[in-house]
Amino acid sequence: MCGTEATDYNQVVSILPGLDLCTECIQYIDNARDAQLKNRESEGTDVSLKPADNPVRIPKPKEINAFLDQYVIGQDEAKKYLSVAVYNHYKRIAEATHRSSENDGDDQDVDIEKSNIVMVGPTGTGKTLLAKTIARLLDVPFTIVDATVLTEAGYVGEDIESLLTRLLQACDYDVERAQKGIVFIDEIDKIARKSDNPSITRDVSGEGVQQGLLKLLEGSVVLVPPQGGRKHPDQKMIPVDTKNILFICGGAFDGIERKIAGRLNHRMVGYGQDASKKKHERDNLMKYVQPQDLKSFGLIPEIIGRLPILTSLNPLDRDALRRILTEPRNAITRQYIRLFKLDGVQLEFTDDALDFIVDKAVEYKLGARGLRSIVETIMVDAMYEVPSSPVEKFIVDAAYAEKKLQEAHFADSVPTD
């Protein structure tokens, strides 16, 4: 022990058996340790640092793709484009951070531009899930914005800057982190130019929004209202630099297939035509989408130029829907199995039940999102009864699934085309 007697201002603490130190000695030891660590760090000695202090390692494109495979079934082409674009974007940020301290000769004059992305595909094919999964892997701020609520400044709706407000809110207003985040703009097709004909009325929710998005996509310092909206006109604005924010846009672009077919001069009749092959190509015309098709649909050339990465997502066939039910790490059946396990009950879905669920999703053209609504309808009674019952195992077969859908009048609740 240090020999100091305990007082009201200097307590004696038992550190180990036979080792008693006063609080002043403990403070002295802490200060000496901190000083020694600082000296070793200044001398270039390797010091163990907190993980946050280490440089962030950027996953390679194949690693990003492998991570996406755990959550998203199929869409291999879209995953490849997305993996490369995200890797290049954050590599660009890392290069810009060290540019001032390194001299690479002529390479110093090369300015790498942003690789904003636009994903085209039917609803329920995984556009939002891909963006969410990317953000989870990189541990960066992420927000989803619905483009349909955006309008030009001064009109009813949300200002363009409100999407950055949501990004700030996602990281507790840490501007430094927000400036390296990801913004997913959903329903980008809904802000397409309404008509090519000049009109005396302003297109405030279409072309006007596209014009407002240009400065954000390009990269500029934007004054963002921290509380969003126009209810607080006196609030202090927060400057946010968007040059390192990755923008991922997604949209169904319903009807763009006709423009693609017109550009390709797609012929469905004639001698020597393989009918099955032509039908397959007709159902997957989206894979031939090009920037000029987006222009024909109603996006202005300026915004298309700021979304250089264009990829499409394929419609989900029956096999893909079947895999989505069970294979991803967050598959809906795995979620229910986990929920029942928390109650000490073993849940099992038979193969015929899974096939029945997929058949219904295909029949009603509900896509991947429809799988969840079908399973929710089937499982609601079991989730209500089983926790209060003594059963240890619960099996869901096709007969049980069909019975529950009929009782819930599921077919009557699904909108028809």
Beta bridge partners, 83, equal none
Model pLDDT, residue 50: 34
Answer yes or no: is pLDDT of 180 > 50: yes
Is residue 85 over pLDDT 70?
A: yes
What is the C-alpha separation between 300 and 307, in angstroms, rounded?
11
Structural domain of 213: 61-99+111-312
- Tell me, yes or no, whether 55 lies in a domain: no
Distance CA(225)–CA(165), nearest Å, equals 7
Residues 331 and 303 in one domain: no
Q: Which of these three, 312, 341, 371, is where a domain ends?
A: 312
Query: What is the tally of structural domains in the chain?
Result: 3
Same domain assignment for residues 93 and 242: yes
265, 296, 312 - which closes a domain: 312
For helices 76-99 and 61-69, what crossing angle results, to 10°?
140
Confidence of residue 61 (pLDDT cuts 50, 70, 90): very high
pLDDT higher than 70, residue 414: no
Where does the pLDDT of residue 45 fall: very low under 50, low under 70, confident under 90, or very high at 90 and above? very low
Do 31 and 82 sit in the same domain of this protein?
A: no
Question: pLDDT band at 218, cuts 50/70/90?
Answer: confident
Minimum mean pLDDT range among 161-165, 173-177, 350-354: 161-165
Instruction: Give residue 38's pLDDT.
Output: 54
Residue 97 pLDDT: 67
Q: Which residues pair with 349 in a beta bridge?
A: 396
Hey, what's the torsion of the CAs at 186, 82, 257, 318, to 10 degrees?
Answer: -90
Do 263 and 348 fall into the same domain? no
CA distance 300 to 78: 23
* 277 and 142 assigned to the same domain: yes
On the question of pLDDT at 399 being above 90, the answer is yes
Terminal-residue alpha carbon distance, the chain: 84
Task: Report the C-alpha gap between 293 and 259 in whole angstroms.
Answer: 6
* DSSP-assigned beta bridge partners for residue 118: 249, 310
Q: What is the pLDDT of residue 406?
A: 92
The predicted model scores a pTM of: 0.73
Q: How confident is the model at residue 255 (pLDDT cuts 50, 70, 90)?
A: confident
Residue 371, in any domain of the structure: yes
Residue 89's CATH number: 3.40.50.300
Assess whether 294 and 386 both reside in one domain.
no
Residue 184, amino acid: F
Structural domain contains residue 304:
yes
Q: Per-residue pLDDT tens for 134-164?
A: 888 888 889 998 888 887 665 666 778 888 9
Same domain as 283, residue 365:
no
Is pLDDT at 9 greater than 60 in this prediction?
no
Task: Say whether pLDDT at 212 is over 70.
Answer: yes
Task: Please state, in angstroms and rounded to a whole number, the distance separating the CA atoms of residues 104 and 110.
Answer: 10
Give ∠ CA 117-119-122 in degrees, rounded to 5. 170
pLDDT band at 281 (very low <50, low <70, confident <90, very high): low
What is the Cα–Cα distance from 403 to 353, expressed in whole angstroms? 11
- In the predicted structure, residue 56 carries a pLDDT above the cut 70: no
Residue 105, in any domain of the structure: no
Same domain flag for 115 and 233:
yes
The sign one gets for the Cα dihedral 300, 301, 305, 310 is positive
Statement to judge: residues 16 and 94 lie in one domain: no
Kindly give the interhelix angle for 398-407 and 367-385, rounded to the nearest 10 degrees: 90
Q: Among the listed ranges 13-17, 110-114, 124-128, 224-228, which one has the minimum average pLDDT value?
A: 13-17
Of the candidate ranges 226-230, 280-284, 389-393, the one whose mean pLDDT is the lowest:
280-284
| pLDDT band per the 50, 70, 90 thresholds, residue 200 | very low
Q: 53 in a domain, yes or no?
A: no
Q: How confident is the model at residue 16 (pLDDT cuts 50, 70, 90)?
A: low
| Domain end marker among 312, 333, 366 | 312
Residue 231 CB contacts under 8 Å (≥ 6 apart), including other chains: none
Tell me the helices (H) and strands (E) count for the chain, helix number first: 17, 11
- 396 compared with 29, residue with greater pLDDT: 396
Residue 307 confidence (pLDDT): 93
Structure tokens at 3: 């020999």
State mean pLDDT over 126-131: 89
DSSP state of 114: P
